[in-house]
Amino acid sequence: MSETSPQPRIISGETGWYETDLPRVIRPYRSHPLRTLAAISLVLAMASLLGISSAYLVIEREQPLDAVTIGPWHAYPKAGTAEADPYSVAIYTRGAVIPLASGEGLALVAREDSAGHLLDPTCVYRIAGQTPSARLWTLTAVDGRGDLVETLSGRVHVVSQNLLRAPDGTFEITAATAPHSGNWLPLAAEASASDGLRFVLRLYDAPVTTGAALDGVSMPVIERTGCP
Amino acid sequence: MTLSPRFTLTVGILATLCLAAIIHILVVLSIPRNVQHSAYDNIASYGTDRQFNLLPDVKPGQEVLPDLDPAMKHAACRFQLDDGPVLFDASIPVSFWSIGLFNAAGEAVYSLNNRTAGAERLSMLVLTTQQLSILRENPPENLEDLIVIETPEPISGFALLRAYVPHASRAEEVDGALQAARCGTI
């Protein structure tokens, strides 16, 4: 029909402004309450999802932010004190963890070996070198959640006082499921790679309980010597 | 006028990110206040307050509190300074022991080990500034020998005593020493 054919545009009166073929910027805005509501709810839902899941991930990783790192070892000297950052406060209170206070000692955790690979409880590791000076230290193997695990010998740790050492004071510990000669740190008897592994080195009565004193101290290296 | 779809999308994404950051911060800050079982609560299940309660040995599958050293034996004592000053007194015959004082939020307030204690015997008095000034008017004769820890506020908290067990044959001796440790009034 002739009425439907394109006509020269004549804007007459107010209704003409609602023509859809006007350029977008000068087209009048008519709000759609439902669309606005949908947009706001989408923003709210996405923001809650992002905010809560990112908080959960950071807390669940159980790695406080202000770590002091020496090779594969991490220490959190400020966690569990009044100066702790909000993340480590959340992590420590959620886990009901009682930290080693600075007058007692310092705990260092390794989640990776010196080459940067995640520790695997089915592998064999060589932990060698020396620790910062401490009156006593213990090395414990725990799983990825920080829990102790059953081992073949029933022992889950080695103590500095019972170590065999080289004449120059360095030591070499073999961490493995099966018994080894020398210093043996037993790992989980029945473990799969997904269980995870952490080494926890606790230095008792050590001068290096503050972060600054940890710069330049020598820590043992962790080398993977074999995997099944 | 109408906003272009691209502009609307950008504003939407920015709003989402800002809101997500705010929610993230709120969640992290609210966790400590909403924790069901703090270390302070957990310790209450091992005995009454104001006395050292021996915690079971740290063994796989039966850990009483997370992150304790299996080479050590532990005893814990909950206290509230509102009920009066707390005196810690222990004599543990091993090469290493240490005590940490924590408030109800689990923050370390004070800590020492057997070398920094300066004596074989642990004698430590924890009290508020106000309680100390009252005590000074009529001091007990051994006040000079005590390690006095003054807190500005009457805190609630707990003390964790760790004792190194050099050998399994010494375990009973250490158990006895930890059970004999005192945590109570002067």
- The DSSP-derived string for A157-201 is EEEGGG--B-TTS-EEEEEESS--SSEEEEPBSS--GGG--EEEE
Q: Where are the beta strands (DSSP E) in chain B?
A: 53-54, 72-80, 86-91, 97-103, 108-113, 121-128, 147-151, 156-164, 182-184
Structure-block tokens of residue A116: 């940067």
Of A139 and B117, which is predicted with more confidence?
Answer: A139
Q: Which of A5-14, A50-59, A75-84 has the highest mean pLDDT?
A: A50-59
pLDDT higher than 70, residue A11: no
Structure-block tokens of residue B39: 């270390």
For chain B, give the mean pLDDT.
89
Model confidence band, residue B27 (pLDDT cutoffs 50, 70, 90): very high
Nearest chain B residue to A207, by CA: B116
- Quick one: pLDDT at residue B75? 94
Measured CA to CA, the distance from residue B28 to residue B88 in angstroms comes to 35
- Quick one: pLDDT at residue A154? 86
Nearest chain B residue to A52, by CA: B24
pLDDT higher than 60, residue B1: no
pLDDT digits (tens, 9 = 90+) for B129-177: 998 888 888 888 888 888 899 998 888 999 999 999 998 899 999 999 9
Cross-chain residue pair B100–A43, CB shorter than 8 Å: no
The minimal CB distance from A140 to the residues B23, B32, B69 is found for: B69
pLDDT higher than 70, residue B36: yes
- Quick one: pLDDT at residue A3? 47
Extents of the domains making up chain B: 5-34, 39-184
List the Cα angle A174/A107/A183 in 5-degree steps.
Answer: 15
Model confidence band, residue A80 (pLDDT cutoffs 50, 70, 90): confident
pLDDT higher than 60, residue A153: yes
Measured CA to CA, the distance from residue A83 to residue A104 in angstroms comes to 17
- Quick one: pLDDT at residue B162? 94
User: Which range has the worst mean pLDDT, A172-186, B9-23, B103-117?
Assistant: B103-117
168-207 in chain A: CB under 8 A from chain B: 200, 202, 204-205
85-104 in chain A: CB under 8 A from chain B: 86-87, 89-90, 92-104
Model confidence band, residue A192 (pLDDT cutoffs 50, 70, 90): confident
- What is residue B51's DSSP assignment? S
For chain A, give the mean pLDDT.
84
Distances A48 to A27, B23, B161 between C-alpha atoms, Å: 34, 6, 43
Strand A73-75 relative to strand A136-142, pairing: unpaired
- Quick one: pLDDT at residue A19? 58
Cross-chain residue pair B16–A46, CB shorter than 8 Å: yes
- A/B interface, count of CB pairs below 8 Å: 187
Q: What ipTM was reported for this prediction?
A: 0.86
pLDDT higher than 60, residue B86: yes
Residue A135 in contact with partner chain B when CB distance is under 8 A: yes
- Quick one: pLDDT at residue A27? 66
- Quick one: pLDDT at residue A29? 63
**Residues of B whose CB is below 8 A from A22:** none
Model confidence band, residue A20 (pLDDT cutoffs 50, 70, 90): low
Measured CA to CA, the distance from residue A92 to residue A98 in angstroms comes to 8
pLDDT higher than 90, residue A183: yes
User: Which range has the worst mean pLDDT, A7-16, A138-147, B28-37, B107-116?
Assistant: A7-16
pLDDT higher than 90, residue A85: no
Cross-chain residue pair B24–A104, CB shorter than 8 Å: no
Cross-chain residue pair B115–A205, CB shorter than 8 Å: yes
Proportion of chain B above pLDDT 90, given as a percent: 43
The stretch B6-27 carries a mean pLDDT of 92
pLDDT higher than 90, residue A30: no
Handedness of CA A162, A165, A170, A172 (dihedral sign): negative
Measured CA to CA, the distance from residue B37 to residue A98 in angstroms comes to 13
The minimal CB distance from A52 to the residues B27, B60, B71 is found for: B27
Residues A104, B163 contacting (CB under 8 angstroms) = no
pLDDT higher than 90, residue A1: no
Residues A200, A158 contacting (CB under 8 angstroms) = no
Nearest C-alpha of chain A: how many angstroms from B158?
10
The stretch A93-100 carries a mean pLDDT of 87
The stretch A180-204 carries a mean pLDDT of 91
- Quick one: pLDDT at residue A220? 93
| Fold type of domain B39-184 | Immunoglobulin-like (2.60.40)
- Quick one: pLDDT at residue A186? 93
Residues A222, A130 contacting (CB under 8 angstroms) = no
Interface test with B, best of A106, A204, A210 (most B CBs within 10 A): A204
Neighbouring CB atoms inside 10 A of B47's CB total 16
For A134, residues 6+ apart whose C-beta sits below 8 A from its C-beta are A105, A160, A203, A204, A205, A206, A208
Distances B39 to B106, B152, B160, B172 between C-alpha atoms, Å: 7, 22, 11, 26
Helices (H), B3-80: 5-30, 39-43
Handedness of CA B69, B74, B78, B79 (dihedral sign): negative
Residue B96 in contact with partner chain A when CB distance is under 8 A: yes
The stretch B107-123 carries a mean pLDDT of 87
Largest CA distance in chain A: 107
Nearest C-alpha of chain B: how many angstroms from A129?
21
- Quick one: pLDDT at residue A44? 93
Interface test with A, best of B40, B99, B107 (most A CBs within 10 A): B107
